[in-house]
């Protein structure tokens, strides 16, 4: 596996036409592994990037807390048979320094995570756009756990007519049902136990939908009634159109997704389930 530590080294890397790309911020976990395995199964060449993008952190303390596990990440990528890892410096992606003209996310970014984390999606789309232009893959892989991000990246590709197929990959859960996230390591034992009510709430809403209930307000109320822990500070709980991320407040028609986010033990967690 080649370690490409600059934009120049990336441009000199011969990668062919069938290229799978998995952009990450490191701290690789089984969710990332599932994306990479899907990419390696479908492409002749796979590139993974590791770059902690400061533009998508609205809180500098969150940026400082983000785990740096690069040696372990490199070992994971070696075991998975990745062809190259792109490790850009800030100047490789943002040669203009601090005067970055960011992409402004559209209406799909105004609520939920966009409201909870101002500027997050602008920064995310800016770095994804630049990475896609530099790597020039045929396929790029994103997890459904960050469903709003996935929706916005698909819109980005359409808006800029980028020649890449965005592949959404199923959310991965730990054995206890909690959605896999690099943030989970910051949960205390009590907080992790409380956090399990998030996937439980989603299952309750999904089961009610499968039983024939299509009133969004009833489904949301069912989910919220499952969140009974004093450890949980709910940020949002809603049903959205899976194509536009517009909130559905009346009749639910597929494709729709139940989404939820909460602060649990001081850690921001999000989860979702396709209905």
Q: Kindly list the catalytic residues.
A: 32
Give burial (CB, 10 Å; 0-12/13-18/19+) of 112: buried
Which of 78, 155, 63 lies closest to 109, judged by CA?
155
DSSP lists the bridge partners of residue 236 as 261
Q: Cβ contacts of residue 173 below 8 Å, gap of 6+? A: 179, 180, 199
The DSSP bridge pattern shows strands 232-241 and 256-264 to be antiparallel
Q: Is the peptide bond before 241 cis (omega within 30 degrees of 0)?
A: no
Euclidean distance between CA atoms 87 and 4, whole angstroms: 6
Euclidean distance between CA atoms 72 and 124, whole angstroms: 24
Give burial (CB, 10 Å; 0-12/13-18/19+) of 119: middle
**Angstrom distances, CA of residue 41 to CA of 46, 53, 82:** 10, 28, 11
Which of 93, 158, 96 lies closest to 126, judged by CA?
93
Euclidean distance between CA atoms 85 and 78, whole angstroms: 10
Q: Give the Cβ contact number of residue 255 at 10 Å.
A: 10
């Amino acid at each position: 596996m080649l370690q490409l530590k600059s934009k120049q080294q990336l441009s000199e890397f011969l990668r062919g036409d069938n290229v799978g790309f998995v952009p990450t911020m490191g701290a690789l976990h089984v969710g990332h592994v599932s994306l990479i395995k899907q990419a390696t199964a479908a492409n002749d060449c796979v590139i993974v990037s590791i770059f902690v993008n400061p533009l998508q952190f609205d809180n500098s303390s969150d940026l400082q807390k983000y785990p740096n596990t690069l040696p372990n990440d490199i070992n994971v990528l070696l075991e998975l048979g990745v062809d190259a890892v792109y490790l850009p410096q800030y100047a490789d992606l943002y040669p203009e320094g601090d005067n970055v003209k960011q992409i402004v996310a559209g209406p799909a970014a105004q609520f939920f995570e966009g409201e909870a984390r101002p500027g997050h999606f602008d920064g995310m789309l800016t770095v994804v756009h630049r990475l896609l232009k530099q790597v020039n893959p045929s396929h790029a892989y994103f997890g459904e756990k960050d469903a709003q991000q996935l929706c916005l990246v698909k819109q980005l590709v359409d808006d800029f007519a980028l020649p890449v197929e965005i592949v959404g990959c199923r959310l991965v859960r730990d054995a206890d049902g909690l959605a896999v996230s690099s943030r989970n390591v910051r949960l205390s034992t009590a907080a992790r136990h409380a956090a399990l009510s998030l996937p439980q709430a989603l299952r309750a809403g999904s089961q009610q939908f499968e039983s024939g209930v299509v009133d969004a307000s009833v489904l949301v109320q069912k989910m919220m009634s499952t969140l009974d822990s004093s450890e949980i500070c709910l940020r949002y709980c809603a049903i959205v159109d899976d194509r536009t991320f517009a909130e559905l407040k009346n009749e639910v028609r597929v494709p729709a997704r139940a989404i939820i986010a909460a602060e649990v033990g001081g850690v921001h967690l999000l989860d979702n389930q396709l209905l």
